Amino acid sequence: MITFLEISLHCATERMITLNNIITAQNLGKKYGQFHALKGISFQIAEGECFGFLGHNGAGKSTTMRMIYGLSTVDEGHLTILNQPITLTPPAIKNVLGIVPQEDSLDPDLTVLENLEVYGGLFGLSRSESRSRGRKLLDEMGLAEKEQDSVESLSGGLKRRLVIARALINHPKIVILDEPTTGLDPQARHQVWQKLRSLKNQGVTLLLTTHYMEEATQLCDRLVVMHEGIILAEGSPRELISRCVLPDVIEIHLPLDAIPGQLYDQIHDLGAEYLHVADGIFLYCRDGRQLWDQLTLWNIPQHACFLRPANLEDVFLKLTGKGEEQ
């Protein structure tokens, strides 16, 4: 029998052959004492694509990012960036990276624009060039009116946008985004998405970790789902949804002790599956309308139910064990 993991690895191999990879990881491992943060993961990232890393806290996403942008050494396996084997990312490669870390790490003693000017200087840009690029980026991020404000006066969401602008000051070939839109309101999040799409259209390669499944669906060409230091699956959002879960979902938001036993007795005979979640139960099926009619027979109030297409969150819940699948 061909396993799901074998299919994923086969797809990854096919992509490695056909695409121009800008980053390649083979059996990448990382240990902190006796703790294995990464357990031999492999992936390839093509030039100009947006590649996502999904997983709960501690899955190994940020560890992988830190190895790529040079804050952590490669303990096991092989990492290649721009065709150069890496143990600890050298300055020549760091110069073409743009980094959006989880922490804002802005200089509170400088103004918004001065933060960009100083950062540009680290890449050898003149002050005038840094200022010119900085003002353009501030305008694109909706921060133009804040350029002379102190960083300390900014809200958390505005600081996040400034960090993203800072990461782009050197016109990077690769942008690494670790939870880039955390703390942003929906309008600001869409503004950032628009900028990231624009970068991708210019051929910039994007690496993204996020807890927002909609963000991964909107932006990622491909992604991996990680759990406890391993890769569980790889593919485009659409591929993973099609491969991992049935297409229709009925959410039932009731206490589990209010779910009738008939549902558990009959659900598999109806060609459906269920997954326990914190606030109820999700039913997965091929024809949600048909299963919806069954709810009345089970005496489940329809006001507590919601029918929708399957999405990337369902894939995440199933693969990472954050729901109890049956």
CATH at 256: 3.30.70.260
Same domain, 285 and 136: no
Q: Tokens in use for 146?
A: 């804040």
Q: Tokens in use for 265?
A: 């007795």
Same domain, 233 and 262: no
Tell me whether residue 109 is in a domain.
Answer: yes
Give the end of a domain, one of 241, 272, 296: 241
Q: Name the β-bridge partners of 19.
A: none
Task: Judge whether residue 172 has pLDDT over 50.
Answer: yes
Same domain, 261 and 232: no
Which pLDDT band, with edges at 50, 70 and 90, does 308 fall under?
Answer: very high
Write the pLDDT tens digit of every residue in 106-125.
Answer: 999 999 999 999 999 999 99
Same domain, 143 and 265: no
Q: What total of structural domains would you count in the chain?
A: 2
Domain that holds residue 179: 48-62+91-241
Tell me whether residue 324 is in a domain.
Answer: no
Same domain, 140 and 281: no
CATH of the domain at 211: 3.40.50.300
pTM comes to 0.88
Task: Kindly report the length of the chain.
Answer: 326
The DSSP 8-state label assigned to residue 204 in this structure reads -
Strand order of the sheet with strand 324-325?
Answer: 305-309, 248-252, 280-285, 273-277, 324-325
Same domain, 167 and 280: no
Distance of CA 271 to the CA centre of its chain: 32
Tell me whether residue 72 is in a domain.
Answer: no
Write the pLDDT tens digit of every residue in 145-155.
Answer: 999 999 999 99
